[in-house]
Chains A and B, each alone.
Chain A
Amino acid sequence: MSAASIIFYIIAAFILGTGLLAVTTRKIFRASIWLLFSLIGIASLYFWMQLEFLAAVQIIVYVGGIVVLIIFSIFLTIKSGEEMPKPIFKRNLFAILAALSGLAYTIRQISLYKFQAPENPAPFELKVSDIGRQMLSTTDHGYLLPFELISMLLLAAMIGCIVIALKQKDSVKTLQS
C-alpha cells in the first residue's frame, strides 16, 4: 500500500465522516460547518486526482460562495443556537432503510461491472488553456453553446433572486391575515 492510496482512504473517511455529521447533527450552524469541511475534503480529493483547476473552482464556488450564503441565511431566518427537533422515529427508520438498500444495490452493481480502462492510457493532464480553448470553440469538442446557455441561466437566476427577495408590501400582508 503506497502513500497515495493511504492518503486517498484518509480523504475518503474525512469526507464521509463530516458529511454524515452534516446531515445528522441537530444544531443547524454546526451542520453548515460540517458541510464546509466535507466540501473542503472533496476539494482535496480533486487535488489528489491532480485536477488543481477543479479543486480551486470547488473551493471558490462552494466554500467561498455557497456555504457563506447558507450561513447568512441561517442567521437571517432561525435562531442558530437552538436544537432542531429530532426526526420522527418511523421516518428516520425508513430513511435509513431506503438509503442503505440503495447503497447496497449500487455498490453491488458497481463491483459487478467490468470497467474497461484503455490500454496504455495517456497521462491525464488538465491544462487550463485547454479548458479555455474548448469552452469557446465551435468545433466537434467545443462547449460554446452550453457556455452561452449557462451565462443566460446565471443572469436569469440573478434577476430572479432579486425579484423574489424584494419586499412586497401588499402580498405579504394578505398572506399573513
Chain B
Amino acid sequence: MTDIPLTHILFLSTALFFIGAYGLFTRRNMITMLMSVELMLNSVNINFVAFNKYLYPDKLGGVFFSIFIITIAAAEAAVAIAIIINLYRSHHSIDVEDASEMKY
C-alpha cells in the first residue's frame, strides 16, 4: 500500500482523463460522448480520493467531494439521456453533426 507513491496514482488518473478527452474529441455519437465524459469524471474522483488518503489522512474532504461528484454525474447522465432520446424522436439521429439548428 505505502510503497506506491502518490504520483503513480496521479499518472493513472491523468491517463484516464486524456483517454476520455480523446473519446470526446473523436466520437460524434452523443451516447459515446456521454460515456467519455463519465470516464473523465471518474478520473477526477480518483484524484480527490488519492489526495485525501495520502496528504490529508485526518480529514474526509476528498471523499465528500467524490460522493458529490458521483451524485452530480448521475443527475447529469439522466438529463443528458432524456435530451438524447427527445432529440432522436425529432431528428431520428443522435449524431451531433445532424443537430445544428441552434448553431447559427
Contact = CB atoms under 8 A, between A and B. Distances in A.
Interface of A: 1-2, 4-5, 8, 12, 15-16, 19-20, 22-24, 28, 31-32, 35, 38-39, 42, 45-46, 48-51, 53-54, 57-58, 61-62, 65-66, 69-70, 73-74, 76-78, 84-85, 87, 91-92, 94-96, 98-100, 102-103, 106-107, 110-111, 115-118, 121-124, 126, 130-131, 134-135, 141, 143, 146, 150, 153-154, 157-158, 160-162, 164-165, 172, 175-176
A54 B57 contact: no
B27 A57 contact: no
**Contact size class for B?**
35 or more
Contacts of A143: 64
A137 B22 CA distance: 41
Contacts of A126: 60, 63
Query: Most B CB atoms within 10 A — which of A16, A54, A122?
Result: A54
A172 B90 contact: yes
A66 B73 contact: yes
B26 A31 contact: no
B84 A161 contact: no
Contacts of B75: 153-154, 157
Nearest to B51: A115
Nearest to A93: B26
B6 A107 contact: no
Query: Most A CB atoms within 10 A — which of B20, B26, B36?
Result: B26
B4 A4 contact: yes
Contacts of B46: 42, 45
Contacts of B36: 23
